[in-house]
Every structure is written in C-alpha cells, then in structure tokens.
Amino acid sequence: MAKKSPVHFPGIDAIAYEGAQSDNALAFHHYNPEEVFDGKTMAQHMRFSIAYWHAFRGTGSDPFGPGTIVRPWESGKDPVSIAKVRLDAAFEFFQKIRAPFYCFHDRDIAPEGSTLAESNKNLDAVVAHAKQLQQATGVKLLWGTANLFSNPRYMRGASTNPDAHVFAYAAAQVKKAMDVTKELGGENYVFWGGREGYETLLNTNLKREQDHLAAFLHLAVDYARSINFKGQFLIEPKPKEPTKHQYDFDVASGIAFLRTYGLEKYFKFNIETNHATLAGHTFQHEIEVAAAQGLLGSIDANAGDPLLGWDTDQFNTDVRELTLAMISILRAGGLGSGGFNFDAKLRRPSTDLDDLFHAHIGGMDAYALAFKLARRILAEGKFEQFVNERYASYDAGFGRDIEMGRANFRSLEKLVLTKLGEPTQRSGKQEYLENLLMRYLHG
Ligand code: XLS
Ligand code: NI
Ligand code: NI
C-alpha cells in the first residue's frame, strides 16, 4: 500500500498569482511564475531559492534567549529520521511557495555525528532522500556549502585556523560537501568565510592566514576538477560577524584577493544585501563592482535594519533598493547559473506556519515588481542616455585618445595650454534623476 505523505502545511494551497488588486494575502500580487518576458518565464528569470538554514532550521533563538518557533514535524525517533521528515516538509513548502530552487549547508540538512565518518554517513542517508524528493518535485539545488563556523572546532577559523589539523578537517568536510552538491546536481558551490578572519592582531599572522585561505580555495578548485564538478564556485563576502574582521570583506577586496592568488578564473561572487550594507556599501554598489569585472554570480536576497549593526537577515520589501539592484543585474546580463536565494529569516515573534509564506511572498513580490520596473527603465533608456551623454567627451577627439592610450601628459598639457583652457561647469543633475526614478516607482 502506498504510504500517504502527511501534509505539513494544512490549509495552505500552492500560492497563486492573483494580481496587484487581489486582497488575498496568501497570493502573489506581482510574481507570476508563468509570465513570459523575452521568451523566458518569470520563474526562469528569477530562479528563486529557499535557504534551508533559515526556513527549516531557524528557531528564532538569539543571544538573549532560546528559540520560539516550534514546528510540528520536528519530532521523531532519531536525528536522521527527523531530518528526513523535515526535508519532506521543506519540499512541500518549496512547491507551495513555487520556488524552483533551494540551498543548504551540509549540517543544515543532516545532523553532525560524533566522528567525521558518522557525519558523512548521516549526510549520505539524508542526501539520498533529498535526491528522491528533487526527482519527484522538480525542485533543484541552487547551491550547496559547508558549515565551517558552528562547531567549536572552528572557533579560530577553518582554513585560516592557526592549527593545521583544523585546516585538514575543514578540507575533509568541504570535500564531502562538494561530493553531495554534485550528487544533487547543485548548480553552484558557495564559500562564505564566517570565521575566516580575526578577533585581534595580537595573536594573528594575517599574511599567513590569507595564504592558507588561498591554498584552501586552490585545493577546492583542484578537487572539483578531479570529480568533474561543473558548478560555479562563489565567494560570499561579508566584512564582519561573527569575527571582528573577515578577509572576504567586500567584493572589491575579494577581487584583489582572488587576483593576488590566481583564483579569479574559478570564482564569482554571491552578493548578500545585508553584507553589502555592513561593509558600508549599497547593495547596488556591490553588484556593480562585481559586474564591472564579469564576476557577478548570485544573490543572497535579504535586508538589514539601518539602525542595527549586524546581519539581521530580513526579507526585503524595499522596492526602490531592489529596482536599482535589478537595473544593474539586468544590465550585466543576469545571474547565469545563480539565482535569488532568500537568506532571510522570520522575526523571533513570527511563530505561525503561515508567517513563512507571508515572508517569502513579500520577498518574491518585491523582486518581481523590481524586475518589471527595471525592465521598463532600461527599455526607455532615459538614465542610460543621460549617462552616455555625461561621458560623451571621451567618445571622440582627445577624450577618445585618452581611452585608447594615445594621449600622454605632454600632449594633454599642450592641449590645455594652447586650446582648451578652463573646463565648462556641468551639472550632475542628481535631483532631476532622483525625481525621474520616483516617477517610475510611484507613477
Ligand atoms: C551568513 C551568511 C551565510 C551564507 C552561507 O551571514 O549569509 O548564511 O550565505 O554560509
Ligand atoms: Ni548569505
Ligand atoms: Ni548573511
């Protein structure tokens, strides 16, 4: 007799697109997965992904108190069978929220054992189950990663740990995480250096730690090649938290790091909104810096709180911020094998099952709206035209010579002395442009 699968989200059907006028809070108002733009559905453009660690391992705990969020499926006889039932609930959610992808850390989906061998065995059992669920539902793995920051062994870092033993352990763990990512058809593999940084330089050899981080990434590249893993490697920069200073501080320092160590061919960036703001940048800034070098890979979609100094991982409904981000992403040609992964969690008092739906509906709708606005803005080309005209002096004459490397200090001095004289003042027109953007956003 076929086993009837339990319904983990009773009373909630698959979320439907009902349009902006609908009053139904459990419906999409802007995200219509089937709507076609340039021959591709919205689902294919957005490639939304659910972050397993927040959506299915988040309990609402914070440094001042334990979890508040209790899920009915979190019971069972042993950790591995609980992990499998949790996965069933997760896949029901992925389908109902219409997310084509999910992402995980090794330790989110399967419990850590008392030895590495036991951890690997647990992972294999849960991964076999995940593979069946992926096949049955069509939900795919956007990326996998290894948790190299929770276990106390990593308190002083993983690949940047002063103890080579910990480096070795981290290598073994990443090897396995790459194996299972490949097994599940993961399209990318992420490196977020949670504890790859320092608390104080009094006990730290910064140069040696950076060398070790680079050595580790080279070993990962070599291993991927040896198992024929074709997924894109992604670095996820973050300036701080949990460490005081993290080596992958932001995209710009990440690019310098990759180039210094000859890694730039193998990595792109996974840009997280809240990490950008922690680094003192806008989200759009980080996207532009990566895109300028052809290194834009994927997005961890969330938002911080402007009044708080840590990674609050909130769902982002700031359509203005997202529209600016989408302009840069679309101009760069999209995310390729990347997607928009909701690295965002419910607030501690948001304890209902349907809160998980409201949260993701808001995130998806805000991005969908931003996508449509950005497309309109780009199609009309007003900002682009303004920017092109702003740089027009480089399109011909001595400006062109500068860009082509045909000018030098002597020739430019001569030009100014004999012909050009003082430059004419030209306005940057920021207020005019802000108002133009407001008209797109609010009519
Ligand atoms: C933490 C990071 C983490 C990565 C994956 O701040 O965002 O969740 O996305 O390790
Ligand atoms: Ni992230
Ligand atoms: Ni984060």
The residue-averaged pLDDT of 335-345 equals 98
Which residue type occupies 390? R
Nearest CA to ligand 1 atom 3: 192
- Reported as a pLDDT band with limits 50, 70 and 90, residue 425 is very high
Please tell me the residue having the least CA distance from ligand 1 atom 2. 192
pLDDT at 70 over 60: yes
**Distance between CA atoms of residues 53 and 47, nearest Å:** 18
Q: What percent of the chain lies above the pLDDT cut of 70?
A: 99
How many whole angstroms from 226 Cα to the centroid of ligand 2?
27
Question: How confident is the model over 329-352, as a mean pLDDT?
Answer: 98
410/159 Cα distance (integer angstroms): 50
pLDDT reported for residue 5:
67
The residue whose CB lies within 8 Å of the most ligand 1 atoms, and thus the one to mutate among 148, 151, 192, is 192
Average pLDDT over residues 132-152: 98
Options 8, 45, 105, 275, the catalytic residue = 105
Residue 285: per-residue pLDDT: 99
Cα–Cα dist 58/47, whole Å = 22
Band (76; pLDDT cuts 50, 70, 90)? confident
Instruction: Report the atom number in ligand 1 closest to the C-alpha of 302.
Output: 7
Atom of ligand 1 nearest to the CA of 238: 6
Copy the structure tokens of residue 288: 């532009």
Tell me the mean pLDDT in the region 306-325. 96
Residue 134 near residue 185, CB atoms below 8 Å: yes
pLDDT digits (tens, 9 = 90+) for 39-49: 999 999 999 99
Q: How far is CA 84 from the centre of its chain?
A: 26
pTM: 0.97
State the catalytic residue, choosing from 29, 30, 54, 108. 108
In the reported structure, the alpha carbon of residue 169 is separated from the centroid of ligand 3 by a whole-number distance in angstroms of: 24
| Average pLDDT over every residue of 173-195 | 98
Residue nearest to atom 5 of ligand 1 (CA): 192
Q: Rounded to the nearest whole angstrom, what is the distance from the C-alpha of residue 210 to the centroid of ligand 1?
A: 20
Instruction: Tell me what pLDDT residue 443 has.
Output: 81
Question: Band of the pLDDT at 10, cuts 50, 70, 90?
Answer: very high
Q: Is residue 165 over pLDDT 80?
A: yes
Q: Using the predicted structure, report yes or no on whether residue 62 has a pLDDT greater than 60.
A: yes
- Our answer to whether residue 245 is catalytic in this structure is no
Q: Whose CA is nearest to atom 10 of ligand 1?
A: 192
Calculate the average pLDDT of the chain.
97
Which pLDDT band holds residue 2 (cuts at 50, 70, 90)?
very low
Cβ 166 vs Cβ 156: under 8 Å: yes
Query: What is residue 1's predicted lDDT score, i.e. its pLDDT?
Result: 40
Interatomic CA distance for residues 80 and 85, integer angstroms: 9
Q: What pLDDT does 75 receive?
A: 83
Report how far ligand 1's centroid is from the alpha carbon of 192 (Å).
Answer: 6
- What's the 336 CA to ligand 1 centre distance in angstroms? 20
Is the pLDDT at 4 greater than 70, yes or no? Answer: no
Query: Which pLDDT band holds residue 6 (cuts at 50, 70, 90)?
Result: confident
Which of the listed residues 50, 151, 269, 343 should we mutate to test ligand 1's pocket, taking the one with most ligand atoms within 8 A of CB?
343
Choice from 300, 311, 312, 316 to test ligand 1 binding pocket (greatest atom count within 8 A of CB) = 300
Type of residue numbered 3: K
Q: Can you name the residues that pair with 268 across neighbouring β-strands?
A: 234
Q: Which residues line ligand 1 (CB under 6 A)?
A: 105, 145, 190, 192, 236, 238, 272, 300, 311, 343
Annotation marks residue 285 as catalytic: no
Look up residue 338 and give its two tokens.
Answer: 């990347």
Residue range 263-287, pLDDT digits in tens: 999 999 999 999 999 999 999 999 9
Confidence category of residue 15, pLDDT binned at 50, 70, 90: very high
Give the per-residue pLDDT at 293.
98
pLDDT in tens, 98-111: 999 999 999 999 99
- Read off the DSSP letter of residue 418: I
State the pLDDT at residue 3: 52
Ligand 1 midpoint to CA 211 (Å): 22
User: What is the percent of the chain with per-residue pLDDT over 90, rounded to a whole number?
Assistant: 98
What is the average pLDDT across 64-70?
A: 97
Nearest to 366 by CA among 320, 319, 324, 300: 319
In the three-class reduction of DSSP (H, G, I as helix; E, B as strand; rest coil), residue 100 is classed as coil
